[in-house]
Amino acid sequence: MKDLMGRAIWDYFKNENPEDLQTETSISELDELPVKYLFRDFEEMNKIEKKALKLSHGKVLDIGAGAGSHSLYLQNDRDLDITALDISPKAIQVCQLRGIQKAVAQNMLEFSGETYDTILLLMNGTGIFQSLKVIDICLKKLHSLLNKNGQILIDSTDILYMFDQDEDGGVLIPANGYYGELDYIVHYKGESEDPIKWLYLDFNTLKNAAENNGFTIEKVLQDEDSYLAKLTKK
């Protein structure tokens, strides 16, 4: 991993000639992602993010913390015990420099040692599952990190709207695999990250997977094609 996302976050924070990121997927064209967006404050966040942060309580694990904006709000404005977790070493360095007291650069599947009252996975949190083939492994891991009466707050988007429709209104989706399993590529300063698998889940598919792995689930908020879900232990 070249850690291009982390490098962009670092460059922006340190004002070292930052440029906007470019992203693309197997079903979408190149798109600009302003690095400044990753440093937004609470008032600039969307409805789903705000709802998740307001629902957070107790000891919190922020998985896929990025530049740490969610963690900072919970630590400084909500006075919660927050751990920021991200696979990007550069992003975690920035989290630490921004004042996050607990920040760890590690893969979620390798992270252990504590359990939490709230686990956050935001900005298409289901993406970290990569594909339906490994979603059970990820959900079992999350189950082990969650306290008995804890909650997982996770968001995603049903991307069915991105596919063409036929004359009868039916959606033309690929016959092989689940339509939300995409290849995701990040570009920065003329370099390209190796493609990674990224998973967008419709709510019913997430519901079935969650219930098969010891969770109850409810939809907390729907915002157009995106939603926030809460998972708790059965």
Q: pLDDT tens, 35-94?
A: 999 999 999 999 999 999 999 999 999 999 999 999 999 999 999 999 999 999 999 999
pLDDT at 143 over 70: yes
18 token code pair: 């930052």
Q: What is the pLDDT of residues 99-112, one digit of tens each?
A: 999 999 999 999 99
pLDDT at 224 over 90: yes
Q: What is the pLDDT of residues 115-126, one digit of tens each?
A: 999 999 999 999
pLDDT of residue 165: 66
Q: Report strand pairing: 103-105 vs 146-157.
A: unpaired
pLDDT of residue 168: 60
pLDDT of residue 162: 80
DSSP string, the chain: ---HHHHHHHHHHHTSS---EEEEETTEEEEEE-GGGGG--GGGS-HHHHHHHHH--SEEEEET-TT-HHHHIIIIIS--EEEEEES-HHHHHHHHHTT-S-EEES-GGG--S--EEEEEETTTGGGGG-STTTHHHHHHHHHHHEEEEEEEEEEEE-GGGGS-B-TTS-B---SSS-TTEEEEEEEETTEEPPPEEEE---HHHHHHHHHTTTEEEEEEEEETTEEEEEEEE-
> Confidence class of residue 127 from pLDDT cuts 50, 70 and 90?
very high
Q: What is the pLDDT of residues 162-177, one digit of tens each?
A: 876 665 655 556 657 7
pLDDT of residue 167: 59
pTM of the predicted model, to two decimals? Answer: 0.94
pLDDT at 227 over 60: yes
